[in-house]
Copies of this chain bind each other. A is one copy, B any other.
Amino acid sequence: MSKPLHKLSATEVVALTRSGKLSVEDAKALIARVQERDPVVKGWAHFDPEIVLASARALDKIPTEKRGPLHGVAVGVKDVIYTKDFPTQQFSPIYKDDHPKLDASCILTLRASGALIFGKTHTTEFATCQKGPPTSNPHDPKRSPGGSSSGSGAVVGDFQVPLALGTQTGGSTIRPASYNGIFALKPTWNAISREGLKMYSITCDTLGLYSRDVKDLDLLTEVFRLKDDVPPPAAPLDLTKAKFGFVKSHVWPKAQPSVISAWETAKELLVAAGAEVEEVDLPTDFDNLGIWHRNILHMEGQAAFLGDYLSTPEQLDPWVTKHVVNDTATTRKEQLESYDNIARLRPVIDSIAAKYTALITPSVTDEAPVLEEPLRFTGDASFNLMWTVLHLPVVNVPGFVGPNGMPIGLSLVSPRYTEQALLHTVRQVEKVFAKGGWKLE
């Protein structure tokens, strides 16, 4: 191996393990990496090297012909996702040290595919709330790794594991990807089962995937069987035949100079690569998506957290409580109109997106914010909300750098259930964006 283990992608680990050059137990190099870096990054809510090593040894005993497509790959798991071998604490005092002996559906799939479940990564309380966990951005510990998938984004960005699971209800997968300079796929809503995750908004909660290499996202889409009706061609995308729709959306006024600069650079680089780019003005109805998204989260959060509120109200963050007590007096009528209007727009945005190789939109408003105690605010999700509630797949593609040297990514978006085509596009676009100045190392 020319590279140290912690620098390997999942795809590389799989290949080396398959050829016998690597054992799963070699993951102790990753354990060492965690032990070295966790005092700074603080990405893990629970990490138990003994259990990881025991799992690794068990995986090493599986005969070659019975090994799965992720055999031996270490995966970090956001701490709102139930795992049999580790506690699931939700960054909530209510669930401190709580350990339901349950594997979420996605964990069953990962285990059956040979993954090495590596530990639980920090989240905001129940993947809600503005208040961040202790995690820092690996590229600047003074800054936020984003949230709510704070730990998952940070430990992948910090080369502690090649893959991690996050979730997204607003911008909780894509925003940390941008802040940590890595890839993330937020698939179509429910394309991966969200069973076995603490629920916030049933309409929005989506399992998300982190990696440092787009090929690893391909691997994960195979594992989770995300299949387009029409698979993309085997040949790489020819950028001179590609057309990208740049969507500013109603949130554009929130874009800071760092993001505007990335946006302009992306356009120039794509044009230089021979692609066509055009700005897409969405119909004015789409301007309401922010408020509709908010109505849905508020009212679905009311149902989701009622049980915790009635059981242990004093241990809930006020951000959670306000849903249950309906502090804004949101009505069922508003909730239903939000559902119905958004549902009406889903096929509309599918049609718009289908006219382009991909839509491109900001992942964030700015570089990762500087952490301020005690809130440790995880940043602004404004650019992510509409795509979450519209259920479209989104990939954060890193490539750009802000004035503070922090990474900035852009979101590529495609119609519902076209993850394969979207990743096919990303494989070429990432090479173009890589000229934007960001290099993860």
- Given A100-B100, A343-B340, A416-B336: A225 and B306 within 8 A (CB)? yes
Residues of chain B within 8 A (CB-CB) of A99 are 101
The reply to whether the CB of A333 lies closer than 8 angstroms to some CB of chain B is yes
Residues of chain B within 8 A (CB-CB) of A229 are 331-333
With both chains docked as a complex, state the minimum distance between the C-beta of A115 and any C-beta of chain B, in angstroms.
11
The reply to whether the CB of A55 lies closer than 8 angstroms to some CB of chain B is no
The reply to whether the CB of A102 lies closer than 8 angstroms to some CB of chain B is yes
- Given A99-B101, A343-B344: A311 and B108 within 8 A (CB)? yes
- Given A198-B195, A300-B190: A417 and B102 within 8 A (CB)? no
Residue interface mask A91-114, B partner, CB < 8 A = 1: 000000011111111111101110
The reply to whether the CB of A218 lies closer than 8 angstroms to some CB of chain B is no
Most B CB contacts (10 A, CB to CB) among A195, A229, A302, A336 go to A195
The reply to whether the CB of A235 lies closer than 8 angstroms to some CB of chain B is no
Q: Is the CB–CB distance between B340 and A346 below 8 Å?
A: yes
Q: Which residue of B lies closest to A84 (CB)?
A: B100
Q: Is the CB–CB distance between A332 and B228 below 8 Å?
A: yes
- Given A202-B194, A340-B343, A350-B336: A307 and B109 within 8 A (CB)? yes
Q: Is the CB–CB distance between A307 and B340 below 8 Å?
A: no
Q: Which A residues, 384 to 410, have Cβ-Cβ distances below 8 Å to chain B? A: none
With both chains docked as a complex, state the minimum distance between the C-beta of A65 and any C-beta of chain B, in angstroms.
16
The reply to whether the CB of A335 lies closer than 8 angstroms to some CB of chain B is yes
Residue interface mask A314-355, B partner, CB < 8 A = 1: 000000000000000001110110011001101100100000
The reply to whether the CB of A303 lies closer than 8 angstroms to some CB of chain B is yes
Complex Cα spacing A397 to B24, Å: 59
The reply to whether the CB of A25 lies closer than 8 angstroms to some CB of chain B is no
Q: Which A residues, 62 to 119, have Cβ-Cβ distances below 8 Å to chain B? A: 82, 98-109, 111-113
Residues of chain B within 8 A (CB-CB) of A228 are 332
Q: Which A residues, 163 to 201, have Cβ-Cβ distances below 8 Å to chain B? A: 190-195, 198-199
- In the complex, how many residues of chain A place their beta carbon closer than 8 angstroms to a beta carbon of chain B? 53
Q: Is the CB–CB distance between B113 and A335 below 8 Å?
A: no
With both chains docked as a complex, state the minimum distance between the C-beta of A275 and any C-beta of chain B, in angstroms.
26
- Given A202-B190, A228-B332, A417-B335: A105 and B304 within 8 A (CB)? yes
Q: Which residue of B lies closest to A202 (CB)?
A: B190
The reply to whether the CB of A234 lies closer than 8 angstroms to some CB of chain B is no
From B101, B194, B346, B350, A100 is in contact (CB under 8 Å) with B101
Q: Which residue of B lies closest to A335 (CB)?
A: B417
Complex Cα spacing A195 to B303, Å: 10
- Given A111-B311, A336-B416, A339-B346: A102 and B105 within 8 A (CB)? no
From B190, B193, B307, B346, A193 is in contact (CB under 8 Å) with B307
The reply to whether the CB of A1 lies closer than 8 angstroms to some CB of chain B is no
Residues of chain B within 8 A (CB-CB) of A111 are 311
Residues of chain B within 8 A (CB-CB) of A430 are none
Closest 3 CB pairs of A and B: A108-B307, A343-B343, A112-B310
- Give chain A's interface residues, CB within 8 Å of chain B: 82, 98-109, 111-113, 190-195, 198-199, 202, 224-225, 227-229, 300, 302-304, 306-308, 310-311, 331-333, 335-336, 339-340, 343-344, 346-347, 350, 416-417
18 contacts between A and B (CB under 8 A): A100-B100, A100-B101, A103-B307, A105-B304, A108-B308, A108-B310, A111-B311, A113-B310, A190-B303, A193-B303, A195-B199, A195-B304, A225-B306, A227-B332, A332-B416, A336-B417, A340-B347, A343-B346
Give 9 A-B pairs besides A102-B102, A108-B311, A193-B202 with Cβ atoms closer than 8 angstroms.
A100-B102, A193-B303, A193-B307, A195-B198, A202-B202, A229-B331, A332-B416, A340-B343, A344-B344
